Amino acid sequence: MATAVETEADVVLPTSETEAIEAFGDGSSVTVLAGGTIVVPDITYGYTKPRRVLMLAGAGLSGVETEGSRITIGAMTSVADLVDLSAPLGPCAANVADLEIRAQATVGGNICAPPGRDAPRGDLQAALLALDAQVRSAGAGGERTESLEAFLAARDGRLLLDVSYEEPASGAFARLDRPHTHDYSALTVCVARAAGGTIRIAAAGVAGPAVRLPSAEAKADDPEAAGQAADADATFADDALASAWYRERTLPVLVRRALTQLQEAA
Contact positions vs another protein (CB under 8 A): 1-9, 11, 13, 33, 35-37, 40-41, 43-45, 50, 53, 55, 57-58, 97-101, 103-104, 180-183
The CB-of-83 to another protein minimum distance in angstroms stands at 11
Of the pair 58, 115, the CB lying nearest another protein is at: 58
The CB-of-238 to another protein minimum distance in angstroms stands at 20
The CB-of-175 to another protein minimum distance in angstroms stands at 15
Residues contacting 125, CB < 8 A, separation 6+: 110, 111, 148, 152, 202, 204, 209, 210
Q: How far is CA 166 from CA 9, 29, 237, 240, in A?
A: 40, 35, 32, 36
Phi, psi of 265 (to 5 degrees): -75, -20
Q: Which residue type sits at 69? A: S
The CB-of-82 to another protein minimum distance in angstroms stands at 17
Across the beta sheet with 64-67, what order do the strands follow? 64-67, 70-74, 158-166, 134-139, 144-147
Of the pair 4, 154, the CB lying nearest another protein is at: 4
Of the pair 7, 243, the CB lying nearest another protein is at: 7
Helix axes 244-265, 223-230, angle to 10 degrees: 150
The CB-of-123 to another protein minimum distance in angstroms stands at 15
- Rounded-to-integer distance, Cα 31 and Cα 49, Å: 9
Of the pair 37, 261, the CB lying nearest another protein is at: 37
Q: How far is CA 60 from the centre of its chain?
A: 20
Of the pair 99, 266, the CB lying nearest another protein is at: 99
The CB-of-103 to another protein minimum distance in angstroms stands at 6
The CB-of-100 to another protein minimum distance in angstroms stands at 5
- Rounded-to-integer distance, Cα 197 and Cα 219, Å: 14
- Rounded-to-integer distance, Cα 250 and Cα 29, Å: 39
73, β-bridge pairs: 64, 163
- Rounded-to-integer distance, Cα 41 and Cα 192, Å: 34
Of the pair 93, 203, the CB lying nearest another protein is at: 93
Q: Which residue type sits at 112? A: C
Of the pair 50, 223, the CB lying nearest another protein is at: 50
